[in-house]
């Protein structure tokens, strides 16, 4: 690893783990976090969870797992360029979506609506809950017992009400303090990843077209460059060459703007980072271009009628499952019945949130399909 900047998170300035553990022998503490995340159950489930397209719609679309790997790649590259803690940044990137429900945002909205009277459901909080509590792998503790800064990075946002009951990890939301640069970075790398791969998946699915994308300057400009450099290029190559230039441009913009933000703020330590305004950012020039891209994706892809049909179905599956388990908790698998004794709605939310897309569909069939008894 390259020399770390004085404002990077290190083992020396870290607030450590909730439960003290013997130090690792051949790796760092943040590498250990990353490794625990890669080996946890919730991480493997990301393979079968929707990003935008339901998992079974096609084998080539992003899933939450491939999305998380792309976020980790972008995060890691930028972290190295900024001399930040790559292992921490990677751990945050790989775990940022662990708490997502099946069926993407439709699933989260549906579960949040079901949980309205029981404290709500929020995927960031659920990601933290997964690594703090729900994983059952270690003899001495629940969850993964991650470093404070990894957990802080996972909890990207949080309402003051929720922050107040989270103790140490929620305090920054009440005090208006920032998380580490590594956490801020993973958050924006998430955006770089999906804004670009959703264009790619949108084109691959045929729901959006290259012609439509002429209205998005950031895409149109890069495509012009590609076609001028390689006359006659077409098919998949023109798309990939265009998108990789977009990713690169966003990453470089972020690196340069963040460097100058750090210099302007006179930041020289991790404490300075926490007290300063958000330092990881795009340039003011890039923001309006990104807004055009995001609006395009919302109007033409996320709100495409074929996507909305899928999300509407997903919403009903989640509602039906939640209702069935609320009406009769004995329908829950035994371990969740046990949890339901303490808090029935939360146990149901944990069960549903942990499902993959296809598991949720199968469970729905098992509970509701007339004529199918097994």
Enumerate binding residues for Mg ion (CB under 5 A).
Answer: 97, 190
Closest separation between CB of residue 193 and Mg ion, Å?
7
Question: φ, ψ for residue 330 (rounded to 5)?
Answer: -70, -15
Cβ nearer to Mg ion, comparing 105 with 278: 105
Q: Which residue spans within 230-323 are E strands per DSSP?
A: none
Cβ nearer to Mg ion, comparing 7 with 302: 302
Closest separation between CB of residue 70 and Mg ion, Å?
9
Tokens of 182: 């590594």
Helix axes 217-229, 235-265, angle to 10 degrees: 120
Cβ nearer to Mg ion, comparing 67 with 364: 67
Tokens of 92: 């945050």
Cβ nearer to Mg ion, comparing 95 with 205: 95
Nearest residue to Mg ion on Cβ basis: 190
DSSP secondary structure letters along 326-343: HH-GGGS-HHHHHHHHH-
Cβ nearer to Mg ion, comparing 97 with 122: 97
Span between the terminal Cα atoms of the chain, in Å: 54
Closest separation between CB of residue 143 and Mg ion, Å?
21
- Cα angle 193, 198, 203 (rounded to 5 degrees) comes to 140
Within 10 A of 10 (CB to CB), how many other CB atoms are there? 15
- Cα angle 318, 351, 149 (rounded to 5 degrees) comes to 110
Closest separation between CB of residue 38 and Mg ion, Å?
17
Cβ nearer to Mg ion, comparing 17 with 197: 197
Cβ nearer to Mg ion, comparing 66 with 212: 66
Closest separation between CB of residue 79 and Mg ion, Å?
17
Cβ nearer to Mg ion, comparing 8 with 88: 88
Closest separation between CB of residue 95 and Mg ion, Å?
11
Distance CA 115, CA 318 (A): 11
Cβ nearer to Mg ion, comparing 29 with 190: 190
- Cα angle 347, 93, 361 (rounded to 5 degrees) comes to 40
Distance CA 233, CA 48 (A): 34
178 burial (CB, 10 Å; 0-12 / 13-18 / 19+) is middle
Q: DSSP 3-state assignment of 40?
A: coil
Closest separation between CB of residue 190 and Mg ion, Å?
4
Closest separation between CB of residue 191 and Mg ion, Å?
8
Spell out the SS3 assignment of 110-123. Answer: HHHHHCHHHCCCCH
- Cα angle 315, 290, 153 (rounded to 5 degrees) comes to 65
Closest separation between CB of residue 51 and Mg ion, Å?
8
Closest separation between CB of residue 215 and Mg ion, Å?
25
Cβ nearer to Mg ion, comparing 250 with 340: 250
Within 10 A of 281 (CB to CB), how many other CB atoms are there? 17
Do the Cβ atoms of 135 and 36 come closer than 8 Å?
A: no
């Amino acid at each position: 690893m390259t020399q770390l900047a004085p404002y990077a998170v290190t083992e020396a300035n870290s607030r450590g783990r909730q439960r003290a553990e013997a130090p690792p022998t051949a790796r760092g503490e943040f590498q250990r976090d990353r490794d625990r995340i890669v080996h946890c159950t919730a991480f493997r489930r990301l393979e079968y969870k929707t990003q935008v397209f339901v998992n079974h719609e096609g084998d080539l679309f992003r899933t939450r797992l491939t999305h998380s790997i792309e976020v980790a790649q972008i995060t890691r590259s930028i972290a190295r360029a900024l001399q930040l803690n790559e292992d921490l940044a990677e751990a945050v990137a790989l775990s940022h979506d662990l708490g997502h429900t099946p069926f993407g945002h439709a699933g989260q909205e549906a579960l949040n609506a079901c949980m309205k009277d029981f404290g709500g459901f929020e995927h960031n909080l659920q990601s933290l809950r997964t690594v703090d509590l729900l994983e059952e792998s270690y003899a001495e503790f629940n969850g993964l017992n991650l470093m404070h800064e990894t957990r802080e990075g996972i909890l990207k946002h949080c309402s003051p009400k929720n922050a107040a009951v989270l103790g140490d990890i929620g305090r920054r939301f009440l005090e208006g303090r920032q998380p580490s640069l590594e956490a801020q970075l993973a958050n924006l790398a998430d955006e770089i990843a999906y804004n670009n791969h959703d264009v790619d998946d949108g084109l691959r699915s045929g729901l959006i077209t290259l012609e439509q994308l002429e209205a998005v300057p950031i895409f149109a400009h890069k495509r012009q460059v590609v076609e001028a450099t390689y006359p006659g290029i077409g098919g998949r190559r023109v798309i990939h060459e265009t998108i990789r230039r977009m990713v690169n441009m966003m990453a470089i913009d972020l690196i340069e703007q963040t460097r100058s933000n750090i210099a302007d703020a006179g930041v020289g330590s991790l404490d300075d980072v926490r007290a300063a305004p958000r330092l990881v950012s795009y340039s003011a020039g890039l923001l309006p271009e990104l807004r055009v891209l995001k609006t395009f994706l919302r109007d033409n892809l996320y709100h495409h009628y074929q996507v909305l049909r899928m999300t509407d179905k997903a919403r009903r599956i989640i509602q039906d499952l939640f209702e069935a388990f609320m009406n009769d908790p004995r329908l829950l698998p035994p371990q969740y019945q046990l949890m339901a004794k303490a808090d029935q709605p939360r146990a149901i939310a944990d069960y549903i949130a942990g499902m993959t897309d296809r598991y949720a569909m199968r469970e729905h069939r098992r509970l509701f399909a007339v004529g199918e008894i097994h």
